[in-house]
Amino acid sequence: MGFLAQTGSGNKKIDEKMDGYGIILQIRGCERGRAVHIALCEDNSADAATIRAILCEYMEQNGYTGEISVFASGEELLATFTLGLYDLILLDIYMGGMSGIATAKKIREADPTCALIFITSSQDHALDSYSVHGSAYVIKPVDEENMRKALFTCREIFLRNARYIEIRTDRIDIKIPLIKIYCVEIFKHYASFHTASGEYKTRMAMDEIERQLGGKPFYRCHNSYIVNTNHIYKPEADDIVMKNGKRIPMRKNGRDEIRRDLAVMLNAQIFEV
C-alpha cells in the first residue's frame, strides 16, 4: 500500500511493501540523490515500529532520501542479503534463532563496509559488537535521543547520499547538498544560496526553489527568504538568527504564526546533525 506524508509545503511519497513484518518504507523527496538503504532486524514488533518511526522522522527532518526494510529474524535478512545491498543495518542482539552477533558475522563475511548498529536489552555483548566493527550500541528501551546519537556515528553514510539541489552559477552547473544550505535569499531576480561552502548565486524563482527544497527542514519565513531550521540559532522578535551569525527577517504579517511554526520545528530537532 502507499500513502502521502505531509512535509511542510511539500509531500514525500512513502510506499509500503510486504517484507519481514511486512514493511519496506521508501521515503522519496523531489530532489535527485541516491537513497540510503537501511535494514532493521528486530523480532519484537513493538520495538521494530518504534525504531522505524525514529528512523523515518530522522530522515525527514534532515532532508535525507531513504528506504527502510524490516526483518523479523537474522535468517530472513540473510536470505536476501548481498554485497552493497544496505548502507546501514540495525540488529537486535537477542532474537529467537540466530542472534544479532551471529547475523553480523555472516554479514561481515560478505560485506566488510556496511555500518552496523546493535540494539539490545543488555551490555553483555558490547565486546562482541566491536569484533564485527559495530558503529554504535543502543540499549533498550530505545528512545529517540539515544537512537539519534547512534545514527550520528553513521552520519557520513547519510551525507554521502544526501539530497541536493542543482543550480547554474557563473556558467557552471553545481550540486549543493541540502544539508549544507543555511538559507536562500532572493534579490533583484537572483537567488543567493548561503551554504557551509560559501555563497552561490543563480537566476531562479523563489517558488521553484521552495518546491525543490521540499518542505522540512526548510521554512519560508519571508517572501524573499527560506531558512534551513537545522541551522537556526534562535528566533527573535523580528528576525531569525542563524548559527553562522546571519540575521534573516520575518515577514511583518503573520510573525506570531512564524514563531509558533519555528518553535514546533525547533523542538522536534533534539539532536544536532
Residue intervals of the chain classified under CATH 2.40.50.1020 are 164-268
pLDDT in the model for residue 221: 95
pLDDT profile of the chain (273 residues), mean per 10? 27 37 40 74 94 89 82 95 91 91 92 90 63 81 90 79 82 86 92 92 93 88 93 90 92 90 74 40
Place of cell 535478512: 77
Query: How far is Cα 151 from Cα 237, in angstroms, rounded to an integer?
Result: 34
Q: Length of the chain, please? A: 273
Closest C-alpha among 215, 205, 164 to residue 10:
215
| CATH domain 2-160 topology | Rossmann fold (3.40.50)
Query: How far is Cα 242 from Cα 248, in angstroms, rounded to an integer?
Result: 8
Query: How far is Cα 151 from Cα 156, in angstroms, rounded to an integer?
Result: 10
Spell out the CATH class of 164-268. mainly beta
pLDDT in the model for residue 121: 81
Q: CA of 142: how far to CAs of 17, 98, 154, 258, in Å? A: 25, 21, 17, 33
pTM to 2 decimal places: 0.58
For residue 107, what is its C-alpha cell?
A: 554479514
Query: How far is Cα 178 from Cα 166, in angstroms, rounded to an integer?
Result: 10
Burial of 39: CB neighbours in 10 Å, binned 0-12, 13-18, 19+: buried
pLDDT in the model for residue 1: 24
Q: 137: which residues sit within 8 A by CB, 6+ positions away?
A: 117, 118, 120, 123, 126, 129, 150
Closest C-alpha among 217, 163, 176 to residue 29:
163
pLDDT in the model for residue 246: 92
Query: How far is Cα 267 from Cα 141, in angstroms, rounded to an integer?
Result: 22
Q: Which amino acid is at 201?
A: K
229 contacts 262 by C-beta, under 8 angstroms: yes
Residue intervals of the chain classified under CATH 3.40.50.2300 are 2-160
pLDDT in the model for residue 65: 75
pLDDT in the model for residue 131: 60
